[in-house]
Every structure is written in C-alpha cells, then in structure tokens.
DNA sequence: TGATAATAGTTCGTTTTGTAACTAACAAGC
DNA sequence: GCTTGTTAGTTACAAAACGAACTATTATCA
C-alpha cells in the first residue's frame, strides 16, 4: 500500500451500523428464506401483521418506512403463499385490510420464537445495561420515538 | 387492529440496526450520488482505496465483505469515471492493483471531509462515553476485530 | 512434466429494486 | 354537480443485485 491515510473507515458510524446490521441479519435471513421462501420485505410485513394485528398497507409503509411498491409486491407474494388475506374496506374502497391467515400466524409465531432466541443470543455478548443503552441509541438514530 | 401481540418488533436488534443504518446513510448517500454519480459499492471501494492505499479487488472483498461481482462492477464504473486505475500485477497476472487517480483522490478527500462532519453531527446526539460504547458494540456485532 | 485443483476476476441470465406513471376512489370548494 | 386535488395501491420499465458458470492464470503434487 503506497499512500495511506489516517481516516478510520471502521469508526464511521453509518459504515459500522451497516456492517453490524448486515452481519446480524445473516443467520436470521437464512431461516425465513429457506424455511418459508420469504424475502426481507415479506418477513417484515408478516411481522408487522403478527405484532400489531390487522393493518392497511399504508400503516405498514408508515411504520416500517418501506416504499409502498415494495409493500405492495410483498403483500401479493404473501397472499399467494396463503399467509395473508386482503379484505376490501367498505368505508373506503381504495384500501384493503390485511390479516394473517392461520398459516401466516403459524409462520409468524415460529419466526417470532426464533427471533426472540436470536436476540437473546446477541444480547449475551454484552451486559444488560449495555444492551439497554444500545437499543436506546439505535432507536434515537433510527428516528423511532 | 383485532389480535395484538406482546412481541416488540422495535426492540429486535437486527431490525433496529437496519433501521438505524438506513436512516443514518440517507443524507450521506445523497451526497455521493448527486455530486459524483456513485452507487454505494462504488463509494465503499473509493473509501477503501483512499483509506488503505493500493489494494487488490480481493483485499476489498475481504475487508468490506462485499461479494466479488459487486466489487468487480464497482471498479469498472470507477475506472470509467477516471477515479481508479488498474495495474496488472507482474507477479501474478490474474490480479490487478487498484489505485486512486488524482481525481479519485480529490473525490475521496471531499467525501471524507463530509463523512467526518456527518459523523460528528451524529455523535453529538450522545455523550462521548456513549458513542465510544456504541462503536465498540457495533464493531463486535459486525465481527470487526 | 502433466493432470488436478485453486484463485482472481468477469460475464450471463434471473430476480429484485427504484422510480414514475398509472387507475380507482374519495374529498373539497365553488 | 363538477372541477380539481389527494390518497391507496398497482403496474411498467429501467437500474441494480444475486449467483452460477465462465476465462485465465497460478499452485500442488504424483
């Protein structure tokens, strides 16, 4: 290496956050991908419906900050997989209420358990106080109130 | 919402890490995209070459943990933009040594300054001790030694 | 040496994403 | 009621990512 530099790339927060995020989702990604053939956005939609109950696509867009076209495509896939059903609203026939089917709920519960175990395993790398602080900081950085 | 659930999605570390990572790169992405027409991988390659000096594609693959096809395409783009030059190694003619051109170095220095300022702005949301701890934790989660 | 394996990097076909434009339904003001 | 504007969600086309297979070169070892 000829010309070096004192800038520490591995201290740059967006870079570190990205590397940590990617590394931390590797194992879990394999799970929902191999077991249920889902993509990341599908998994997120499933989790939102599991965690918050019936929602409209727009609600998920707002909460998860994912573009509506991605949500639209993910919902289509989840409907094809019989994990989600759409119910056209009578009040406003532009919007659909999305709900998990029993199969969707079963997948959600399965993945939720795995997620919780995975989270515990990650947390074990640090003290309780550290993890609490980490979550607080990440929430603030993510702009989640 | 009909059936709720006590699983707190927003406490799930991989999710939080992703949201924080995405939010934190938004502004910076605009910069290298609008000013230099670069994609994320191109920016990363540029930064690696700027920070560590001459490297082979494989070195970047190892350090940044980005797939070699992505690196290959990013390098091609950077060469087209006259930010990087390839020099075929005489020892092993399979590999190229990659180096920044003066224009590449200028772009790097510009972006490096912006990155440092951006990092400082992010850090100001927390105390010095918190930021130190955050970096430590992210490094460990990312598997950076 | 000569066969086999390994490595650096690229290319090709497919999948996924990004962005803009679109349809359909509702809302607001005149 | 009839424009005009907004909102929910989809579609279409282009850009980008993924992964397998490929070329070219070097390494291993019988």
Full DSSP string of A17-43: HHHHHHHHHHHHHHHHHHHH---HHHH
Q: For residue A144, give the chain B residue with the closest CA.
A: B10
Scored b (16 or more CB within 10 A) or e, B40-78 reads bbbbbbbbbbbbbeebbbebbbebbebeeebbeebbebb
CA atoms of A99 and A108, how far apart (whole Å): 12
B-chain residues within 8 Å CB-CB of A48?
9
Tell me the domains of chain B and their CATH numbers: 9-142 (1.10.10.10)
- In the prediction, which pLDDT does B8 show? 83
Is the pLDDT confidence value at B2 over 70? Answer: no
Residue that has been written with the tokens 């790339």 in this structure: A9
Q: pLDDT band at residue B1, thresholds of 50, 70 and 90?
A: very low
User: Is pTM beyond 0.85 here?
Assistant: yes
Residue of B nearest to A43 (CA): B15
Question: Cα(B83)–Cα(B104) distance, rounded to whole angstroms?
Answer: 4
| pLDDT, one tens digit for every residue, chain A (145 residues) | 445 566 788 899 999 999 999 999 998 999 999 999 999 999 999 999 999 999 999 999 999 999 999 999 999 999 999 999 999 999 999 999 999 999 999 999 999 999 999 999 999 999 999 999 999 999 999 988 7
Q: What percent of chain B has pLDDT over 70?
A: 96
Express each pLDDT in B93-123 by its tens digit: 999 999 999 999 999 999 999 999 999 999 9
Q: Which of B13, B55, B123 sits opposite A119 (nearest CB)?
A: B13
Q: Which residues of B touch A123 (CB under 8 A)?
A: 13
Q: What DSSP designation does B11 have?
A: G
- Does the CB of A49 sit below 7 A from strand D? no
């Amino acid at each position: 290496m000829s010309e070096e530099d004192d800038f520490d790339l591995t201290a740059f927060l967006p870079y570190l956050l990205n590397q940590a995020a990617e590394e931390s989702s590797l194992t879990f990604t394999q799970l929902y991908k191999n077991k249920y053939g889902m993509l990341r956005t599908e998994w997120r939609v499933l989790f939102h419906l599991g965690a918050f109950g019936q929602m409209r696509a727009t609600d998920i867009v707002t909460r998860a900050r994912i573009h509506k076209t991605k949500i639209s495509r993910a919902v289509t896939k989840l409907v094809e997989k019989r994990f989600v059903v759409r119910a056209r609203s009578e009040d406003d026939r532009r919007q659909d209420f999305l709900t998990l089917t029993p199969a969707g709920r079963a997948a959600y519960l399965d993945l939720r358990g795995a997620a919780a175990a995975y989270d515990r395993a990650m947390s074990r790398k640090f003290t309780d106080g550290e993890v609490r602080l980490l979550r607080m900081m990440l929430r603030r950085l993510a702009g989640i109130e």
